[in-house]
């Protein structure tokens, strides 16, 4: 078998990060190759640790090609969050953001009340 111009069909050094980690040949039609370049091995390593390569493969296969890059990017984000915080993962960020949002909503309401009070204080003299 001839090596392709990209040198990916014989498990050469240009194999994608997934095929490198899983020690398999990286074929021309490799589902992972467009999203996990060899230079970013940690990206695939983390996603594989959290979701497992076969689950990620299934997820990508079930989606149209133009949605796969965004899917990979959200999977990488989630995997990194889970490795940073094994108990809460991404949900820790959601909880923190919900708390910050609730604080800001309360502050908006407080400021609106103050503003109304200022306006009505001013009106008798104007």
How buried is residue 110: exposed, middle or buried, by Cβ count under 10 Å (0-12/13-18/19+)?
exposed
Neighbours of 75 (CB within 10 A): 20
Work out how close the CB of 5 gets to a copy of itself at its nearest, in angstroms, rounded to a whole number.
32
Q: In this chain, which of 52, 57, 65, 84 binds a copy of itself, going by CB under 8 A?
A: 52
CA pair distance 72, 66, nearest whole angstrom:
11
Please give the structure tokens belonging to residue 50.
């959290």
Structural contact between residues 46 and 79, judged by C-beta atoms closer than 8 angstroms: yes
Q: Which of residues 105-124 bind a copy of itself (CB under 8 A)?
A: 105, 107-108, 111-112, 114-115, 118-119, 121-122
- Footprint on this chain of a copy of itself (rule: CB under 8 A): 49-52, 54-55, 59, 62-63, 67, 70-71, 73-75, 77-78, 82, 86-94, 97-98, 100-101, 104-105, 107-108, 111-112, 114-115, 118-119, 121-122, 125
């Amino acid at each position: 078998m001839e090596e392709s111009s990209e040198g990916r069909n014989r498990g050469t050094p240009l194999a994608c990060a997934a095929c490198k980690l899983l020690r398999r040949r990286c074929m021309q039609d490799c589902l992972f190759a467009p999203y996990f370049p060899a230079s970013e091995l940690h990206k695939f390593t983390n996603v594989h640790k959290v979701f497992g390569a076969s689950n990620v493969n299934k997820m990508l296969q079930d989606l149209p090609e133009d949605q796969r890059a965004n899917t990979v990017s959200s999977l990488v984000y989630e995997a990194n969050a889970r490795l940073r915080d094994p108990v809460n993962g991404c949900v820790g960020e959601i909880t923190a953001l919900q708390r910050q949002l609730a604080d800001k909503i309360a502050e908006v309401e407080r400021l609106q009340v103050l503003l109304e009070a200022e306006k009505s204080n001013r009106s008798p003299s104007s």
